[in-house]
Amino acid sequence: MSSRPAGWDAPEAHFGRSSHPEIMLGAPSQRAEPAQAEHSRLLEKLRKEPFDLADLRRFFEQAQLLAAIPEALVAGQILSLFEPTIEVPQSRFRAELMLGEEAWHFVHDELDPELLQLNRILWTSLRAIPQLRRTPESSGLEERQRAAPGDKAGLMPAYARITKLLGRTEVALYQKPRSDPELYALPCFPPCIVARAKLVPDSTVVFRLAQLLVYCEPEHAVTCLLPETEGRDLLGALLGAFGPPGTAGNLSRAGKDYAAQLWHAVPVRVQSQLRELVRSRLPVLDYDRLQGRAALCAARAGLLVSLDVRSAIEGLTGVEPTLHDFDVHTQLGFEACYANSRTLRELIRCAFSESYLALTGLRANA
């Protein structure tokens, strides 16, 4: 990643002033070799370990010294949140240059095929449980509130771009005059998203849309779209109906009812397969753990659809309740957010991944 992409201007034109004036681009060549080794070491640390700001600043310095433009852009965008002396170009991340399959794997970094299959079977089976079978109409929505794919006004252009990037074009958008909350998803078949009419697609809204679209995926919908009580009861019902004896614990009345209905809803030819999937994935069939996996996928999706890393971080802090008490635009606030949010740490880790840096390097040529 240290070579200069064709089409870039001189690095000093992009990065303006630095809080470390002793780092001069075009330094003597004998400094390059140790700098490259240090740069590679810090990059691996940023990808794999929690880091402190001294690491990030040093990495930014080395990236400038080596004219490693993508790495310097990403590090500079993060530091610019709370260091006004660092200036970075306002160029848009071109996620559309990523192939659909690449984007899917970027979001679903730790793919578990068996868990994916199990959750899809479970979500599909909910259609046979009357009390969980919801439609937009039963939730108070009207067909005239459904945004048409070709709409050029309001939220629809941004929504169309994001759904295309994430491969979720089947998820409909409804725009409601007095929606409260202003943006949420409904567990219909297929799920849909409801937005307050005339909502402006700022960084927080863009990030929230990506987050909700991930939650609408069949592999995440049970734990992220259903009300928590229903989701927990349903997971218990799955264990009660298809898990080894004793794994379901004490089911609630609703859980026992769901278990009976699941047993009848799953075709006989699929029941043995589902029993084997439950047995093999039993250690991870925990409500909180599944929600945590979904949150990490949502963070990666938010990074993918945001204009740049800084916008993605600002969007995440706007949608994650645990971060609302901190100001990410101060160093202390950023450090508190980083320490308290696994999703923020994952977002930053992915910003230094090979695939993200590769597309960052292409932006100037697009």
Which of 167-171, 244-248, 320-324 is predicted with the least confidence, judged by mean pLDDT? 244-248
For residue range 198-208, list pLDDT tens digits in order: 899 999 999 99
For residue range 92-130, list pLDDT tens digits in order: 666 677 777 888 888 998 778 999 999 999 999 998 899
pLDDT at 366 over 70: no
pLDDT at 43 over 50: yes
- CA-to-CA dists, residue 102 to 91, 125, 200, 349, 359, angstroms: 22, 29, 29, 17, 12
CB neighbour burial string for 126-148, b if at least 16 within 10 angstroms, e if fewer: beebeebebebeeeebeeebebe
The predicted pLDDT at position 90 comes to: 60
> Residue 11: which pLDDT band, with cuts at 50, 70 and 90?
very low
Question: Mean pLDDT across the stretch 242-269?
Answer: 89
The predicted pLDDT at position 190 comes to: 87
Distance CA 148, CA 128 (A): 29
Contact 130, 254 (CB under 8 A): no
Which of 115-119, 195-199, 248-252, 343-347 is predicted with the least confidence, judged by mean pLDDT? 248-252
What one-character-per-residue DSSP string does 230-278 give? HHHHHHHHHHHHHSPTT-S-S--HHHHHHHHHHHHHS-HHHHHHHHHHH
CA-closest candidate to residue 168, choices 294, 312, 359, 301: 301
For the chain, what are the domain ranges?
1-93+306-366, 111-301
The predicted pLDDT at position 91 comes to: 57
Give, as one character, the DSSP assignment of residue 169.
T
What one-character-per-residue DSSP string does 179-223 give? -SSSEEEE-BSS-EEEEETT----HHHHHHHHHHHHHTSHHHHHH
What one-character-per-residue DSSP string does 32-96 give? HHHHHHHHHHHHHHHHHS---HHHHHHHHHHHHHTT-HHHHHHHHHHHTTT-TT---------GG
For residue range 75-98, list pLDDT tens digits in order: 999 999 999 998 876 656 666 777
Question: Mean pLDDT across the stretch 230-236?
Answer: 94
What does pTM read for this prediction?
Answer: 0.85
The three-state secondary structure class of 301 is: helix
* 221 burial level (CB within 10 Å; 0-12, 13-18, 19+): buried
> Residue 16: which pLDDT band, with cuts at 50, 70 and 90?
very low
The predicted pLDDT at position 31 comes to: 54
pLDDT at 24 over 90: no
Percent of the chain whose predicted confidence (pLDDT) is above 70: 87
Dihedral in degrees, nearest 10, Cα atoms 10, 16, 19, 22: 40
Distance CA 76, CA 79 (A): 5
In DSSP terms, which residues pair with 176 in a beta bridge?
196
The predicted pLDDT at position 250 comes to: 84
The predicted pLDDT at position 172 comes to: 95
Cα angle 123-278-228, degrees, rounded to a multiple of 5: 45
Average pLDDT, the chain: 85
Strands 192-196 and 172-176, how do they pair? parallel
pLDDT at 247 over 80: yes
> Residue 42: which pLDDT band, with cuts at 50, 70 and 90?
very high
Which run of H or of E encompasses 174? strand 172-176
Distance CA 205, CA 365 (A): 28
Distance CA 274, CA 276 (A): 5
Q: Of 5 and 43, which is predicted with more confidence?
A: 43
Distance CA 108, CA 350 (A): 12
pLDDT at 20 over 60: no
Question: Mean pLDDT across the stretch 238-256?
Answer: 89
Q: Of 4 and 237, which is predicted with more confidence?
A: 237
Contact 76, 62 (CB under 8 A): no
Question: Mean pLDDT across the stretch 254-279?
Answer: 92
The predicted pLDDT at position 307 comes to: 78
Percent of the chain whose predicted confidence (pLDDT) is above 90: 60
Distance CA 96, CA 121 (A): 31
Distance CA 187, CA 132 (A): 9
Give, as one character, the DSSP assignment of residue 4.
P
